[in-house]
A and B are shown apart, each in its own frame.
Chain A
Amino acid sequence: MSTRRVVITGVGVLAPGGIGVKNFWSLLSEGRTATRRVSFFDPTPFRSQVAAEIDFDPELFGLSPQEIRRMDRSAQLAVVATAEAVADSGLDIQTLDPYRVGVALGSAVGATMGLDQEYRVVSDGGRQDLVDHQYAVPHLYNYLVPSSSAAEVAWKVGAQGPTTVVSTGCTSGIDAVGYAVEVIREGSAQVMITGATDAPISPITLACFDAIKATTPRNDDPEHASRPFDGTRNGFVLGEGSAIFVLEELDSARRRGAHIYAEIAGYTSRCNAFHMTGLRPDGLEMAEAISVALDQARINATDIDYINAHGSGTKQNDRHETAAFKLSLGEHARHVPVSSIKSMVGHSLGAIGSIEIAASVLAMAENVVPPTANLHTPDPECDLDYVPLTARDWPTDTVLTVGSGFGGFQSAMVLTRPERRPL
């Protein structure tokens, strides 16, 4: 096995209520929520009418009219978050061999928003089965295949190394970063721009989650609609956003005197091989992913200071992962703070895993654990310390962040300070 160690040296975030790392952290540390009634279109026909939206004007972030036109919103978010991450890293990518800089971008649903809008046009409001190509926008192919968003990120930074989109549903945001780590470890790139993006707040997405009652119908109280681990929770709140990281090898980061947020010490993905949307309550496969990630990091369960949970706010998930934490961490599960930022920024599908990695490294930077908002009446079956309502000052050197998603994917990542890790 390679001994190359991979660290995060730059972070960029576009989250609901948190444009930019600073605003994002303010939202989380103050325990505010960014969920609201859907404003992008009239949500009245839908069962769930709540979402966590970003008030995002791409022009304000310097995207040209042409870029805005050819990019779906998900790509726009990624490009803007990339600019913040690269600036934050202090890395001058132009001085590097471009073939040694790659991109791995996570996304669960790609250009859903663009496809939804454009289908409506070319089908004349769903009236034509044989949709009319003469009404298609010239960049429709970019929406068809979402690797276009990774391409936009690569062009923005001048990367010419291995570039791809990683799309594993709701674990995409962890798996893309894990993919980037593997690419650096094997020596195929020196720097990876990685992270994830999704902008799914569109009628087709609302409709498909309505159909399986996965999203909350708590339309009368949108600000308090996302309630992970609470006994009254009844589904997740759809979100959008992007978080992007600059990853590089520890030694070269140290050589250039870079600020190191965290080392990605362990990463694993497992499948439950059970059901496309269902989870077994025992949490077995997520527990396995956690154990393997800890082994890879050579870190004991008791060294975990904070768990950033998937915490989507569905009964099924909350119980599944609570069981997984108990199974993999044993008694320590009862002593370690666990929280879900989805209570504040919603569930942005493929993006959220990366947004949660960002929250994790910021928790390490600040030694503050973000809370689980809206947690007033704990579900008796979820009996861990979920940090209700207010952030907690907490020495945080090592974080476990997990994700679980459609398709059965279960992913776990261990982040730590490089000096904490024996070699």
Chain B
Amino acid sequence: MSATTVVTGLGVVSPNGLGAAPYWDATRAGKSGIGRVTRFDPSQYPARLAGEVQGFVAEDHLTGRMIVQTDHMTRMALVAADWALADAAIEPRGLDGYDMGVVTASSAGGFEFGQGELRKLWSRGSQHVSAYQSFAWFYAVNSGQISIRHGMKGPSGVVVSDQAGGLDALAQARRQIRGGTRLMVSGAVDATICPWGWVAQLAAGRMSTSDQPARAYLPFDADARGHVPGEGGAILVLEEAGAAALRGARIYGEIAGYGATFDPRDTVGGTGLHKAIEIALADAGLRASQVDVVFADAAGIPELDRAEADAIGAVFGPRGVPVTAPKTMTGRLSCGAGALDTATALLAIRDSIIPPTVNIEPAADYDLDLVTGRGRPTPVRTALVLARGYGGFNSALVVRARNPHATGPQAGPDHTERTR
């Protein structure tokens, strides 16, 4: 019997809220963090809106020595990890270092830091490149820095699978708990809102060119025209359920199932996503009818929205499950998205409310029960989180409420089977 993995701490850095509580308040209320790019002048570019994290002052949390050697996204990841551990009431220095590991996802590493050093290299010469470049840019930086900060010496790693990576990291962390590690810090915080990152993202041709924050990112809407990129994400504390119970930890829920597939070249991937959902549900030992909400990937590109709607419809039936995309308030956070959606799903379970998808008017032909406008109060025991990465990565993760009295794997509420 595999160990059960539960989530006991959340650390959130999001364009619409800094910290899990402010984020959740904003998200439940449908408050968006999307606006015109402020970090550089976007006038010359065809896309000018982003979800930027506001009010994050690295100096309030980190030493000058740490700030000089880190990219913006690493600083936010370090702070999110601090918050997650505090939320879990874990004091890592009191635990055996080998019993704690770190698995994060990355998409582009410390890209803004890399931009600065590339500029120095080409404009001033190689001897001007920073001594920190060798590790501030590379993809492993967040896991390395978090492990050092908290003395975590256990099995650790980094996965890169574009936007699917956030869920892949949580799954890899769960593997380590199943392998006998007591506690894992996992998730992803991402940021590439700098001119060089912007130009690289523009090349994919998926960014919205609208200048209206409320009309730019409209997944599952007839007016869908691309996405708004954002920055941020979430870091979670995962523990083996028995160890968490023993210390009387507050438990948000269980990571109950995971599935991942990859699409053939030049396809939009509805069947692969469908398969990933089936694998995740089977892994969790659940029927489709036991899922209370789906957090959609919500590409905001008509053919990708269609593929996702088809996959959801194939598993749950037409309008068979509530679907939401709170990322309409943050923009797409690349690998940060899967981790943030997972944190959001756990908060939805805690507070019995499905947060809304904002700004959209669902196109009728998708046949999805989209939660729009305002949050929908309803008991949530089981949530499915979807994430897809550029190139064909599909990941699906199931989280569910954990009954404090349960001993074995937990049965969901006894719904009748919905149409398949």
Interface of A toward B, CB cutoff 8 Å: 45-46, 99, 102-103, 107-110, 115-116, 119-120, 122-123, 125-127, 129-133, 136-148, 150-151, 154-155, 158-169, 172, 175, 179, 182, 186, 188, 203-204, 206-212, 214, 268-277, 285, 288, 405-409
B148 at the interface (CB under 8 A from A): yes
Asked whether B200 lies within 8 Å of A136 as measured between CB atoms, the reply is yes
Asked whether A207 lies within 8 Å of B133 as measured between CB atoms, the reply is yes
Indicate which residue in B133, B156, B200 contacts A168 across the interface (CB closer than 8 Å).
B156
Asked whether B262 lies within 8 Å of A159 as measured between CB atoms, the reply is yes
- In the complex where A147-B160, A210-B126 touch, is A275 in contact with B393 (Cβ < 8 A)? no
Asked whether B118 lies within 8 Å of A123 as measured between CB atoms, the reply is yes
**List of B residues within 8 angstroms of A129 by Cβ:** 40, 119, 195
Q: How many Cβ-Cβ contacts under 8 Å join chain A to chain B?
A: 277
A219 to B122 CA separation, bound complex (whole angstroms): 23
Q: Which of B66-106 contact A (CB under 8 A)?
A: 69, 97-98, 101-102, 106
Asked whether B118 lies within 8 Å of A208 as measured between CB atoms, the reply is no
User: B380-412 toward A: CB 8 Å interface, digit per residue (1/0)?
Assistant: 000000000111110000000000000000000
A409 to B261 CA separation, bound complex (whole angstroms): 28
B144 at the interface (CB under 8 A from A): yes
- In the complex where A147-B165, A154-B262 touch, is A167 in contact with B138 (Cβ < 8 A)? yes
Smallest Cβ-Cβ distance to B169: which chain A residue: A164
B154 at the interface (CB under 8 A from A): yes
Indicate which residue in A99, A164, A276 contacts B168 across the interface (CB closer than 8 Å).
A164
**List of B residues within 8 angstroms of A210 by Cβ:** 126-127, 129
Q: Give 21 CB contacts A-B under 8 Å.
A: A108-B140, A119-B119, A120-B118, A123-B118, A126-B119, A136-B199, A144-B192, A147-B390, A148-B390, A154-B392, A160-B264, A164-B159, A168-B143, A172-B140, A179-B172, A204-B114, A204-B121, A208-B129, A208-B134, A210-B127, A407-B135
- In the complex where A164-B165, A409-B156 touch, is A131 in contact with B129 (Cβ < 8 A)? no
Most chain A CB atoms below 10 A, which of B178, B196, B393:
B196
Asked whether A141 lies within 8 Å of B133 as measured between CB atoms, the reply is no
- In the complex where A179-B157, A276-B69, A406-B134 touch, is A122 in contact with B151 (Cβ < 8 A)? no
Report the interface size for chain B: residues with CB under 8 A from the other chain.
Answer: 90
A392 to B261 CA separation, bound complex (whole angstroms): 44
- In the complex where A210-B127, A272-B153 touch, is A138 in contact with B161 (Cβ < 8 A)? no
**List of B residues within 8 angstroms of A109 by Cβ:** 137-139
B413 at the interface (CB under 8 A from A): no
> 10 closest Cβ contacts across the A-B interface?
A407-B144, A126-B122, A126-B123, A167-B139, A140-B203, A207-B126, A151-B391, A144-B200, A163-B262, A141-B204
**List of B residues within 8 angstroms of A116 by Cβ:** 118
**List of A residues within 8 angstroms of B263 by Cβ:** 160
User: B172-188 toward A: CB 8 Å interface, digit per residue (1/0)?
Assistant: 10010011000000000
Asked whether B118 lies within 8 Å of A204 as measured between CB atoms, the reply is yes
Indicate which residue in A45, A133, A270, A406 contacts B98 across the interface (CB closer than 8 Å).
A270
Most chain A CB atoms below 10 A, which of B127, B260, B391, B392:
B391
Asked whether A276 lies within 8 Å of B165 as measured between CB atoms, the reply is no
CB distance from B255 to the nearest CB of A (A): 14
Asked whether B261 lies within 8 Å of A99 as measured between CB atoms, the reply is yes
A133 to B148 CA separation, bound complex (whole angstroms): 37
Indicate which residue in B44, B121, B156, B162 contacts A207 across the interface (CB closer than 8 Å).
B121
A405 to B157 CA separation, bound complex (whole angstroms): 12
CB distance from B334 to the nearest CB of A (A): 8
B158 at the interface (CB under 8 A from A): yes
Most chain B CB atoms below 10 A, which of A109, A207, A214:
A207
B299 at the interface (CB under 8 A from A): no
Asked whether B144 lies within 8 Å of A269 as measured between CB atoms, the reply is no
**List of B residues within 8 angstroms of A107 by Cβ:** 160
- In the complex where A131-B195, A406-B134 touch, is A146 in contact with B139 (Cβ < 8 A)? yes
